[in-house]
Amino acid sequence: MNIYTVSKDKTNIKGFWQDNGKVYIDNIKKVSYSNNLKEKLFLAGELAVFYCDDNTAYIESKNGHIDVLRVKRVLHYQSINVSLIKELLANFNGITVYRNKTFNDYTIEIWQ
């Protein structure tokens, strides 16, 4: 299982999400899940953490509420643009974009 952490450094994984119409973009690092890391993230000010395995994703809030997401969509693109990101966010509220520098293409994951 992996937990997605926000990185101050530029990464090849970007998390796009929106709240009350405002779009947020985070540089993401995937690291091995641990309860200790999750607690450290909450203590550092994170309001929610996202973690997943191949079949299920979880969004856990600081107060312990957990949303379970069981449907994963994977989309592949040679290029992406702002209008595609806006369209996907309008439909799904959050997406993860992986840039593959070797093949110069993109994979987008959407959990529901």
| Structural domain that includes position 58 | 2-111
Answer whether 102's CB lies under 8 Å from 75's CB.
Answer: no
Number of domains into which the chain is organized: 1
In the chain, what's the furthest Cα-to-Cα distance? Answer: 41
| pLDDT for residue 51 | 97
- Segment 94-110 mean pLDDT: 95
Q: Model's pTM, two decimal places? A: 0.89
| pLDDT for residue 21 | 84
Answer whether 60's CB lies under 8 Å from 4's CB.
Answer: no
The answer, yes or no, to whether residue 99 has pLDDT greater than 90, is yes
Whole-number Å distance between alpha carbons of 73 and 5: 21
Query: Token pair for residue 27?
Result: 């540089």
